Chains A and B, each alone.
Chain A
């Protein structure tokens, strides 16, 4: 069999385990552990006047009750601002347990530990917290108007003003033949993983060591945070991410209060303690994203070429800023997508509201940026009466312009320089794939069926695989098994498959022999984490480099044994052989045994190895200077800067003019993430992303009322698309390899979600002739819009004889 698996649609090796219920998720761990539960704030903004736990003492099985006063040392200090930034002038973070004030519904005030979760919840119910309510700020506009302040020492509610500029926008706008100005909104949604957060901690008093399992995207960083906050030496702390049922960004935040409090209790009580988040807790105490107000002014010429773009965004960052201004930076820098923008100015004001914190959710600010840019292009096309595709084509960066410097600074502090791409190629494939030029006939066919049909498109460029690094370790055992480990975590992406494909291909072994481990600090201590579409780029290249190191050592040892030149050797199917000399070969597993001069003949492998063993020379040490026993290698990949993937989506919607239900009938994706390790997994990523894109465009919103109460904090009320709402996705691939990394790959994790809102808004606008300036949009909102005499009509609709009438 071939061992060249890179690029093959290998079936996901983890699925056998995950699909049949053999996964080991957080709540599957520590069935005997004490259970933690939390008393959380019912108010969006309030002072804590008192906490009376007396009635809870009657609950049989109660073990401990913790409030802020029980926190000591670093635990009593605010949680860290993970990513400080000079423009984040007023950062704020909460405390593990509220210190006198709560700033959003769901903020943890008291932790109860009991013999099981039911009892812990019963005790929570009996704890009386007295509050003095304070004025509440909900939504970007309220934060902007600043009639009330979330943090009283920040009266304007502004946490940060992020600003970047690539040319003299004022002058360019003044000189522009045409300009457009408009304001639009995008709502809150959230990652909503199937499995919420969860933490299990066990303290070994005799060994003075702590083992923590957390449903996290960054186990090594959680480890460092726990060590710092609980004043433990990092070598005394192990953090393991078990099977994780989805993260989509929110699990990159760390440390969550619970990730510190549960270990704290485990140490204080000398017993295992576990907490696993329930669904309501997830809605009101984890993280959301997306809400922005966007004020856009664009200058362009009669051909539709953009000459200047001025964007002012108000970004709702929720009650605190533990993750800095990553989302605003990503919106600001990724907004311009695949286009040439001669003069670009962006200002993002990140404002506080009394709502759940905002941290990256799949796309991480890109869907908003794409929505701003693509809707701008739609408006230019409409104003000029031009084809929306043509306007885009006229502004695209051309293939011969790479590397293309956008003269912006990315989230990793590195320049935004597009490494490679073919954007006109994407557009050509997309138009063919969706039948863009047949839209008119599709429209009339739909009208014959009493439906309003519209088509829309959106393009994006996604910076993926930011550094600083990831590492990989590859070890060949005497049994022939190949152990691969990397520090970043998995949330179901298929890492066990793609990393095994890469190592099998690099090393020349059957994939069945390869065993991949991720997110376990016992196996690999240095890692950054799984986010920003970086796992394949970073750890993929790291394990490839580690495998190459193992291969080199294996060939060196084999060369001695086979008395050949390493250059004449090859490894295939786990066998090292002299090229073109059948029979002159040695199994890789035997080399693994030979690599260790200490060879007690425990097993057959060792016995076999002895027959290959070359008598060592008496004047040399058994292990040469600079060499090491064992057939293993550890290596790291650190990129100079991010690599930029790209894509183009198109949506065809059909709207029922009676119910105004919006049905996405066709969804086309052209996707370019450089060299593809496993096309089946990439397509799965695209499908999942599109599903979340459709959800964000048509269904999902966080329905906060004016008092900061989240009114749809359950799966009864929060609409996520089912398979019945997610359209069939047709995909075409384009591969422009990245010149920046050994494997030439780019990230694919987030891409699918980015253009959804923009493309679907464009399609609805095309179908209805009404300007769509606020997303997501529900049938009832569309109904109101259609009935609103003052609703803005598109020029295209005015020109059209058919279509929706008021």
Chain B
């Protein structure tokens, strides 16, 4: 499937770029991310959990960034596989100045396979919208500093173990390869306000592509 969309973020393209390509930030902003391991330049392995219906499950994913034109565009290659199925997606992302902020636009081409492909488009797109909303809300919160970052103290050991990491100070830039960044598995705290929901909806396409790769434990929100 092909999906396009956009989101408005409250920082200039340079800051958005820095944040959105920072593994530490990604690890704590990608919904359902249990861990994210840098395995090379702009290349990451992820362990993510999804909690919706037949999509529910733990997935091992890979994300690689290419064709980087900082701060205006890059291409994200994402793939993931778990018991319920697999997905492969190529997403082109553009950042454009928009007043004090940035308009992020994306165009995704995704292929969903396995049993999960059988749950119906509305399940996948619906979950994706949720996750997109969560992701951009979290990213925007990082940019506007409305959340206390969760620690990403580099921890040895293999990826994939869920952990609600202890709080401690850390600087935001990406550590060297091989480091593991622990994500927050629970959904971002606090209710999503209308604006960010709108952002999420607008941005749905991006995470439609990743809908089964990264998610959050919808089922646990209630």
Q: Which residues of A contact B (CB under 8 A)?
A: 51, 53-54, 56-58, 60-67, 69-70, 114, 265, 267-270
Contacts and interface: CB of A to CB of B under 8 A. Distances in A.
A61 to B, nearest CB: 8
Contact of A64 (B54, B219, B221): B54
Interface stretch (B26-34, B120-128, B142-150, B155-163): B120-128
B115 A51 contact: no
Given A57-B127, A63-B53, A70-B120, 12 more contacts: A51-B122, A53-B122, A54-B130, A64-B53, A65-B119, A65-B120, A67-B121, A70-B121, A114-B53, A265-B118, A269-B54, A269-B119
Given A64-B53, A269-B54, A57 B126 contact: yes
Contacts of B52: 57, 62
B121 A54 contact: no
Contacts of B115: 268-270
Interface of B: 52-54, 115, 117-123, 126-127, 129-130, 218-219, 221-222
B126 A54 contact: yes
12 contacts: A54-B126, A56-B126, A57-B123, A57-B126, A57-B127, A57-B130, A62-B52, A62-B53, A63-B53, A63-B119, A64-B54, A66-B120
A60 B118 CA distance: 18
Nearest to A265: B118
Of A61, A67, A70, A265, the most chain B CB neighbours within 10 A belong to: A70
A66 B118 CA distance: 9
A269 B55 CA distance: 11
Given A57-B127, A269-B115, A63 B122 contact: no
Contacts of B53: 57, 61-64, 114
A706 to B, nearest CB: 34
A270 B129 CA distance: 26
Given A268-B115, A269-B118, A270-B115, A64 B129 contact: no
A65 to B, nearest CB: 4
A318 to B, nearest CB: 29
Given A57-B130, A269-B54, A64 B123 contact: yes
Could you tell me the dominant secondary structure of chain A's interface residues? mixed
Contacts of B120: 64-67, 70
Given A64-B54, A268-B119, A58 B221 contact: yes
Contacts of B126: 53-54, 56-57, 65
Contact of A65 (B123, B129, B218): B123
Lowest 5 CB-CB distances: which A-B pairs, in order? A268-B118, A64-B119, A53-B122, A62-B53, A65-B120
A65 B118 contact: no
Contacts of A54: 126, 129-130
Nearest to B130: A57
Contacts of A53: 122-123, 126
Contacts of A62: 52-53, 123
A208 to B, nearest CB: 15
Contact of A58 (B119, B121, B218): B218
Contact of A63 (B54, B117, B121, B219): B54
A63 B119 CA distance: 7
Contacts of A67: 120-122
A64 B53 CA distance: 7
Contacts of B121: 67, 69-70
Nearest to A205: B115
Contacts of A267: 118
A69 B121 CA distance: 8
B15 to A, nearest CB: 31
Could you tell me the dominant secondary structure of chain B's interface residues? helix
B202 to A, nearest CB: 14
A114 B127 CA distance: 16
Contacts of A69: 121
Given A54-B129, A57-B52, A268-B115, A65 B122 contact: yes
A265 B119 CA distance: 8
Contacts of B118: 64, 265, 267-270
Contacts of B122: 51, 53, 65, 67, 70
B215 to A, nearest CB: 11
Of A60, A61, A67, the most chain B CB neighbours within 10 A belong to: A60
Contacts of A269: 54, 115, 118-119
A60 B53 CA distance: 7
A507 B22 CA distance: 85
A370 B126 CA distance: 56
A58 B123 contact: no
Nearest to A66: B120
A210 to B, nearest CB: 14
Contacts of B219: 60
Contacts of A60: 219, 222
A65 B52 CA distance: 12
A50 B37 CA distance: 41
B125 to A, nearest CB: 9
Contacts of A64: 53-54, 118-120, 123
Of B54, B117, B219, the most chain A CB neighbours within 10 A belong to: B54
A110 to B, nearest CB: 8
Contacts of B127: 57
Contacts of A58: 218, 221-222
A56 B130 CA distance: 12
A62 to B, nearest CB: 4
Contacts of A63: 53-54, 119
Nearest to A69: B121
A70 B1 CA distance: 13
Nearest to A110: B122
A576 to B, nearest CB: 57
Contacts of A265: 118
A62 B54 CA distance: 8
A64 B56 CA distance: 11
Contacts of A270: 115, 118
A267 B120 CA distance: 13
Nearest to A59: B53
A60 B221 CA distance: 10
A265 B219 CA distance: 22
Nearest to B118: A268
A269 B115 CA distance: 6
Contacts of B123: 53, 57, 62, 64-65
Of B52, B115, B122, the most chain A CB neighbours within 10 A belong to: B122
B2 to A, nearest CB: 14
Contacts of A57: 52-53, 123, 126-127, 130, 218
A60 B126 CA distance: 15
A340 B118 CA distance: 61
Contacts of A56: 126
Of B53, B119, B126, B127, the most chain A CB neighbours within 10 A belong to: B53
B221 to A, nearest CB: 7
B188 to A, nearest CB: 16
Nearest to B127: A57
A57 B123 CA distance: 7
B31 to A, nearest CB: 13
Contacts of B130: 54, 57
B145 to A, nearest CB: 30
Nearest to A54: B126
A67 B54 CA distance: 16
Nearest to A70: B120
A122 to B, nearest CB: 12
Nearest to A270: B115
A63 B56 CA distance: 9
